[in-house]
Structure 1
């Protein structure tokens, strides 16, 4: 059976869920937080060490300002109300992306990372203002600046995911089948699962079904 060290998730469908059930995209984003908490608990139960959540991409700035502000207020409230609980559960929070938000949110993110930096049970990588193309361009620029040879090993040293193992599994909810500029380098050999359910409807049973299916896959990495 295949061991699982790292699961990455594109949490798609919040807005559509909100419009469908509550006539408000923001209601969907709020409901999506409940799913995040369920998946964190289930990740711990399965003894998976890394969970990467795609929360806000570099392209998401194109959304209405009102929706963006609501998303960030949700994140601020989550950090204020939940970071102590995450810390008590020995969970580390790491932000992957550019911290170019309000001063308040930037400080909350920095403080949350610092507070949980020594925790070992689970590392949650929150991809915020993240874009894989930017990440790769920045890595190549850093190699050039530091006069380093271009190699797979050296590129990995300058990625935002430095020292984080590549995902074994990528899950995307929302019945959309694309990567959306997410971990393009790191997903080279990940098993990809596209889930029809919108993110707020995704549950522990769905998650475990994917985990169990992954464990039975024969992974060849180019071999036979």
Structure 2
């Protein structure tokens, strides 16, 4: 087994770290002739279902792509609605996270958000910092290219630039290696998400729109993962 393979999950076992590109909220709403914001609201409900399922299924970590650096290009009213949903989600769910031993983590530059949102995020991070169960990482104002640049600069400032020193500076450095990426909505691309971490991750692209995603889909994705033979560049 190669050194790269040794960092991942053992062959034949389920994933420890699953990442999800939560795509399809707008299309879900459009198909029902509803405002896009209702699609995003249903998407938040899907987040709740998925996190609860991740706890039940014994995952160590889940990373959710919530707001990319490119999402600022969306219409102002949609961005404002997304910020409102983020605030509501933190306020409504942080106590459940605390009760269920979930550690909240944020990757990306969340400090670019409005001060009240930053304060809520930092309060939630502090509230769950000591939790030892599932790590729920939320990608906010996140772009993988930006993350890699930041990590390379930090590594260079400390000395030699190698794959190991860059990896140590990534936003996910304190999380298990990424095992599986799921993307909903039928799109087949990474969209600037965890590109470094995905080097040897398995990928699964589903036709289901994110608001319809739930425990059954996550269980099926994990089952598909366990059936695959992970080679890590070997024969």
Query: Which of 59, 65, 68 lines up with 2:76 in the alignment?
Result: 65
* Equivalent residues in 2 for 1:131-210, closer than 5 Å: 131-146=143-158, 148-210=159-221
Classify the secondary structure of the residue corresponding to 2:197: coil
Say whether residues 1:26 and 2:52 are aligned partners.
Answer: no
Unaligned runs of 5+ in 1: none
Cα deviation 1:176-218 (Å, max 9, x = unaligned): 0000000000000111000001101122212111111111211
CA distance in 1, matches of 2:153, 2:67: 24
> How far off is 1:22 after superposition?
4.1
Cα deviation 1:84-132 (Å, max 9, x = unaligned): 1110111010010102101110000001001100111111000000001
> How far off is 1:140 after superposition?
1.4
Alignment TM-score, normalising by the size of structure 2: 0.92
> How far off is 1:28 after superposition?
0.2
Kept in 2: contact 1:131–1:181 (CA 8 A): yes
Query: Which of 16, 33, 36 lines up with 1:5 in the alignment?
Result: 16
CA distance in 2, matches of 1:203, 1:124: 16
Kept in 1: contact 2:14–2:222 (CA 8 A): no
Q: May I ask how many residue pairs the two structures share in their alignment?
A: 223
Say whether residues 1:110 and 2:151 are aligned partners.
Answer: no
Unaligned runs of 5+ in 2: 1-11
Kept in 2: contact 1:173–1:199 (CA 8 A): yes
CA distance in 1, matches of 2:23, 2:134: 23
